Amino acid sequence: MKNTFAPLDKDEKDLIQALENDEFIEVANPEEEKAQAQAAAKNTLEKVKNINIRLSLKDVQQLKVRAAENGIPYQTLVASVLHQFANDRVEVRL
């Protein structure tokens, strides 16, 4: 039977060598390490889209006040509120 696998590249060979030389260490909490790696991957892969939106000057001023009270930039506050609404975490009263 013919080998159908591609030859190993340098990084793959280095990983195998490190494994054979017992160079890896066991982490204390693998689930926590996994969660951190997943969060980092998610943050890396998330795309951001800029939008333009028209708001009244009064609303922008109030947003800036609320953001300052929470110690965050007002654009971060606006993005957070929109994210929560988009994910059904807040409701809009009309």
DSSP per position, 58-94: HHHHHHHHHHHHHTS-HHHHHHHHHHHHHTTSS----
Per-residue pLDDT tens over the stretch 30-77: 899 888 888 877 776 777 788 999 999 999 999 999 999 989 999 999
Closest CA to 78 of 60, 91, 56, 58: 60
Task: Grade residue 1 by pLDDT with cuts at 50, 70 and 90.
Answer: low
Q: What is the tens place of the pLDDT at every residue in 57-67?
A: 999 999 999 99
Given the structure tokens 């965050």, which residue do they identify? 72
* Amino acid 74: pLDDT: 93
Stretch 10-18: mean pLDDT: 90
Which of 42, 44, 52, 43 has the alpha carbon at shortest distance from 75? 52
